[in-house]
Amino acid sequence: MAIAQKTVSSDITANNWLFKASADTAVTSIHLCNITSTDTTVNIYLLPDDGSSAGPTENNKIYNSLTIQATDSYIIDTEKMILTSGDKIFVETPDSSGAIVATISTIGL
């Protein structure tokens, strides 16, 4: 099992991903922790490594405008995502009024 963690920003460029699979991988959970005293909106993207796009677009969203209350956390762990080598997960805070720490837990297949 591996864990990746970072403070999310409103910068959603091609190289600002939370996780990039280096082999076939299962995502077991994503934890989003709002470390501020204001509500924060989060978008999550899943970008396949198929050459269709250099960076995430609206067509790659898997969570859109998810609001995480001040000082609260949101956990995504019901369904597992299977990624192949090169697939990436991006998380952004488009309103940038708060700060989210995103933690992803994965396991190799």
In this predicted model, what pLDDT tens digit does every residue of 35-94 receive, in sequence order? Answer: 999 999 999 999 998 877 778 999 999 999 999 999 999 999 998 999 999 999 999 999
The partner residues of 66 in beta bridges, in order of sequence, read 42
Compute the half-sphere exposure of residue 90: CA atoms within 13 Å on the CB side of its CA.
Answer: 27
Number of domains in the chain: 1
Roughly how many angstroms between the first and final C-alpha of the chain, as a whole number?
10
Phi and psi torsions of 60, nearest 5°? -105, 5
The owner of tokens 């697939």 is 87
Whether residue 95 contacts residue 41, with contact meaning beta carbons closer than 8 Å, is answered with yes
Q: Are 83 and 27 in contact (CB under 8 A)?
A: yes
- CATH no. for residue 70? 2.60.120.340
Query: What's the rounded Cα separation, in Å, for the pair 91 and 17?
Result: 7
Residue 3 has pLDDT above 80, yes or no: yes
Give the pLDDT of residue 96.
73
Average pLDDT over residues 10-23: 88
State the pTM of this model.
0.91
Range of the structural domain that residue 83 is part of: 2-108
Given a cut of 70, is residue 1 above it in pLDDT? Answer: no
- CB of 65 closer than 8 Å to CB of 81: no
Q: Are 18 and 90 in contact (CB under 8 A)?
A: yes
Beta bridge partners of 107: 26
**pLDDT of 95:** 80
